[in-house]
A and B are shown apart, each in its own frame.
Chain A
């Protein structure tokens, strides 16, 4: 049985020119696997992630024929049920740890707070779980980090703490929106490796949202390519380089390589792509 079923998801926002759809009816299914959603800014990829967690606020509007998470209808679930679902079974890793951590609270207490909100563990057991979680994201001395404040750790460490905070509740599905774009390249792969390990070992589902095709290809099983609010290509990660849609092909070609011999990089023909879209 699939973990998540989404059918005809639409997200729209009002503007001076009337309602504008940023996600235009997308459908996909997800099992306990790693799914990548790739697209450029404005493609609707981040809005898709937020819509799944029902984090889109008024005046944004989310509609779908079906949005089902492990038998729970996310569309009709009251806000209270949604709150207990978020974090416990569905969690999200945001772009920049700086903005997601409370600056005046010790790191250990923040993670412990999450446990307290969702579980009935006593103080000692909570502390044990927090230390375990910190260890699981390869933090060498969890005891010390437990007592630190967010500004005392580096960006990569901050993001690992965010991930620890997410996995401490052992969610079924983790949504990571550009989890490493605020980090140094050398730290990026480290953080992603940790995330990848956790997802595999605990049998979680993962939705990795990113603009980086190669990164997604490396860490996911399946890839959805979004353009202008629609899914234009869906393929198995290892077959990404045989992608057929002109947008995907254009994106792949426009990334410079380490051994770059081309005089000019190929550029997307946006007029052509938008033309294709109206034919659908």
Chain B
């Protein structure tokens, strides 16, 4: 579903991602882990079309991603951002946020679709006209997830979707993400530094260090506390 071939990404002169190749099957849940500055967020941004200065090849499904604005990308993948406070427009109600993608693509039955989406992410209908500041962090993240699913993309990019949430709320959102994947057969591409989250939500992980992929391995090995690379195990020992 997602295939990277010799992907290198540049910020001006500096190369932040070096020759990364990856292949993720349809319906899989893949985690990219690494410390900050490892380039994991940059890869995510390239997939999302926000970073365009890259070489190599990015394939999403049957589509080969273009540099610059790629209209096909919209229907292929959507993103859930890290910060539920910053990813929602502060003056738009839940209703406005969720109906916007429908309005952009002239999709009908907006009313029903918005309500369906709210039900799907477990957001009570009474919150429909609330503004973001009237919602809790967990509720906001549910809105962000619902927004990402409005256009029914097969791929969901997750940028540390629970790191800004309380642990009990994190559990709710992780459960939601897990069941959404099962129900809709979504492919997840998760970027995080939180290894236990990977253990719960993913079945494969890649370890990134200074822009280079040190290993790609199954999450089963993570659960057994035994990654392949030395750096991977170092990372494992650092997180409590």
A and B touch in the complex (CB under 8 A): yes
- Which residue numbers of A lie inside 8 Å of B, CB to CB? 40-41, 184-186, 189, 211-215, 218, 250-251, 254-268
* Minimum C-beta distance from A241 to chain B (A): 14
Could you tell me how many residues of chain B have their Cβ less than 8 Å away from some Cβ of chain A?
A: 30
* Minimum C-beta distance from A196 to chain B (A): 14
Complex contact B168–A268 (CB within 8 A): yes
Question: Which residues in A have their C-beta under 8 angstroms from that of B235?
Answer: 186
Complex contact A258–B225 (CB within 8 A): yes
> What are the 3 closest A-B residue pairs judged by CB atoms, nearest first?
A254-B171, A40-B166, A265-B171
Complex contact A186–B238 (CB within 8 A): yes
CA distance A263 to B181 in the complex (A): 13
Q: Is B170 an interface residue (CB 8 A)?
A: yes
Complex contact A251–B168 (CB within 8 A): yes
Q: A258: which of B36, B171, B193, B223 is its contact (CB, 8 Å)?
A: B223
Q: Is B104 an interface residue (CB 8 A)?
A: no
Residues A259 and B223 in contact in the complex (CB < 8 Å), given A184-B35, A185-B239, A215-B240: yes
Interface string of B94-115 (1 = CB under 8 A from A): 0000000000000000000000
Complex contact A214–B225 (CB within 8 A): no
Interface string of B179-200 (1 = CB under 8 A from A): 1000000000000011111011
Complex contact B175–A264 (CB within 8 A): yes
Question: Which residues in B have their C-beta under 8 angstroms from that of A41?
Answer: 137, 166
Q: Is B14 an interface residue (CB 8 A)?
A: no
Complex contact A256–B174 (CB within 8 A): yes
Question: Which residues in B have their C-beta under 8 angstroms from that of A254?
Answer: 167-168, 170-171
Complex contact A40–B168 (CB within 8 A): yes
Complex contact B196–A267 (CB within 8 A): no
13 contacts across the A-B interface (CB closer than 8 A): A184-B193, A185-B194, A215-B240, A254-B170, A256-B197, A258-B196, A258-B199, A259-B199, A259-B224, A259-B225, A260-B200, A264-B178, A267-B168
Q: A186: which of B35, B168, B179 is its contact (CB, 8 Å)?
A: B35
Interface string of B223-239 (1 = CB under 8 A from A): 11100000000011011
Q: Is B121 an interface residue (CB 8 A)?
A: no
* Minimum C-beta distance from B77 to chain A (A): 25
Complex contact A267–B175 (CB within 8 A): yes
Question: Which residues in A have their C-beta under 8 angstroms from that of B236?
Answer: 258
Complex contact B168–A214 (CB within 8 A): no
Complex contact A265–B240 (CB within 8 A): no
CA distance A41 to B164 in the complex (A): 11
CA distance A185 to B178 in the complex (A): 24
Q: Which B153-171 residues have a C-beta within 8 angstroms of A? A: 166-171
CA distance A265 to B170 in the complex (A): 9
**A268: nearest chain-B partner, CB-CB:** B168
* Minimum C-beta distance from B177 to chain A (A): 11
CA distance A258 to B171 in the complex (A): 14
Question: Which residues in A have their C-beta under 8 angstroms from that of B168?
Answer: 40, 250-251, 254, 267-268
* Minimum C-beta distance from B37 to chain A (A): 8
Q: Is B222 an interface residue (CB 8 A)?
A: yes
* Minimum C-beta distance from A56 to chain B (A): 22
Q: Is B212 an interface residue (CB 8 A)?
A: no
Question: Which residues in A have their C-beta under 8 angstroms from that of B239?
Answer: 185-186, 258
Q: Is B172 an interface residue (CB 8 A)?
A: yes
CA distance A265 to B165 in the complex (A): 15
* Minimum C-beta distance from B130 to chain A (A): 16
Complex contact B223–A40 (CB within 8 A): no
* Minimum C-beta distance from B193 to chain A (A): 5
CA distance A214 to B238 in the complex (A): 14
Complex contact A256–B36 (CB within 8 A): no
**B199: nearest chain-A partner, CB-CB:** A260
**A38: nearest chain-B partner, CB-CB:** B167
* Minimum C-beta distance from B191 to chain A (A): 14
CA distance A206 to B167 in the complex (A): 24
CA distance A59 to B141 in the complex (A): 31
Complex contact B171–A214 (CB within 8 A): no
18 more CB-based (< 8 A) A-B contacts, given A254-B170, A255-B167: A40-B169, A41-B166, A185-B194, A186-B239, A254-B168, A255-B196, A256-B196, A256-B197, A256-B200, A258-B199, A258-B225, A258-B239, A259-B223, A259-B225, A260-B200, A260-B223, A264-B178, A266-B171
Residues A265 and B222 in contact in the complex (CB < 8 Å), given A184-B36, A211-B166, A256-B199: no
**B166: nearest chain-A partner, CB-CB:** A40
Question: Which residues in A have their C-beta under 8 angstroms from that of B171?
Answer: 254-256, 265-268
**B178: nearest chain-A partner, CB-CB:** A264
* Minimum C-beta distance from A142 to chain B (A): 24
Residue in A189, A212, A213, A256 with the greatest tally of chain B CB atoms within 10 Å: A256
Complex contact A214–B197 (CB within 8 A): no
Question: Which residues in A have their C-beta under 8 angstroms from that of B200?
Answer: 256, 260, 262, 265
